[in-house]
Every structure is written in structure tokens, then in C-alpha cells.
Amino acid sequence: MSVYVYPGSFDPITNGHMDIIERASKLCDKLIVAVLVNRSKTPVFSLEERVDLIKCSVKHLHNVEVESFSGLLIDYMNEKKAKVIIKGLRAVSDFEYELQMALLNKNLDSDIETLFMMTNINYSFLSSSSVRELATHKGNIDGLVPDCIKERVIKRFSG
């Protein structure tokens, strides 16, 4: 059984993330969307909220699971018996960092591959931080996040 992992902070999940999730889910038997506990960041949504937002967003995809993890991605990959890391790229600027991470992970475990997927051009400008910025200033986030989470995102920033 082929198991792929799509790691990230997803604070919040966007339609750009969903584009990668939907396409990657067609390439493997099981795709795990793995929400990273990143101690160097202070997320707007708690870990539990991010997992819940993603679960709502992927419920139509039967081979997608959502979990959280902390520590090294390579250790998590081995625990899940996964061999492929999915990374979404929007622009060349994403590639430089992600290439370094892929090479580091390959150095740690030569059996792990990283698959880079270019996001749909319609989402090439989209990031979680841009959604947070728009929502903070009561901007329109229609079409930027999955419909099932839109009101929750708006509510978080309406205070």
C-alpha cells in the first residue's frame, strides 16, 4: 500500500492546499495530511482546530486522513510506513527552501522521496498568511478557503 504524507502548518487550510491534497490523493492508496507542531510559530488556530478544519475540508476524499505530529518528519514518515513527502510549490521562491528540506530529508533517510507539485495557477498567489491578513481587515475570502470553514475563519478575526 502506498502511503504519502503532506505536511504543513495549515493555519488555516486554503484552497491552494486543497488543490494539492485532491491531486495527491489520486496518486496513492492513502494520503496523510500531517499538521506540524511548530514551536517556532504562534498559530492563530490551535492544533486541534487546524486538524478539525482540515477534516471538514477533506471529508469527501475517502483515502485522506488528517493527523498531527511533532518532531522530525522523517521519524513520522517511518512510523506511518510512508515513503513519499508531498510538497506544494507556488513559485520559484518556494522551491529553494523546499529543495533544501528535501535534500536534508534524503540525507536522513535515502528511502524517502519528496514529490513537488505545482499548485494550480489560480492559487499561485494564495497562502495561509494572506488569508489571515485579509480576514483581519475584513477582506473577502470567498474562494480562498474551503466553504465549510469560511465562517469559522471569518469569526476568528471578527473580534
DSSP H helices in the chain: 15-24, 47-58, 73-80, 92-108, 128-136, 147-156
Q: Which residues pair with 5 in a beta bridge?
A: 32, 85
Is 90 tagged catalytic?
yes
Q: Which candidate in 55, 90, 150, 152 is catalytic? A: 90
Which amino acid is present at 29? D
Is 60 tagged catalytic?
no
* Cβ-Cβ contacts under 8 Å for 93 (sequence gap 6 or more): none
Is 50 tagged catalytic?
no
Is 17 tagged catalytic?
yes
Q: Which candidate in 41, 59, 81, 138 is catalytic? A: 41
Q: Which candidate in 50, 57, 128, 132 is catalytic? A: 128
* Residue 73, helix vs strand vs coil: helix
Cα 59 from Cα 121, distance rounded (Å): 24
All three cell numbers of 51, joined, read 486538524
Residues with a known catalytic role: 17, 41, 90, 128
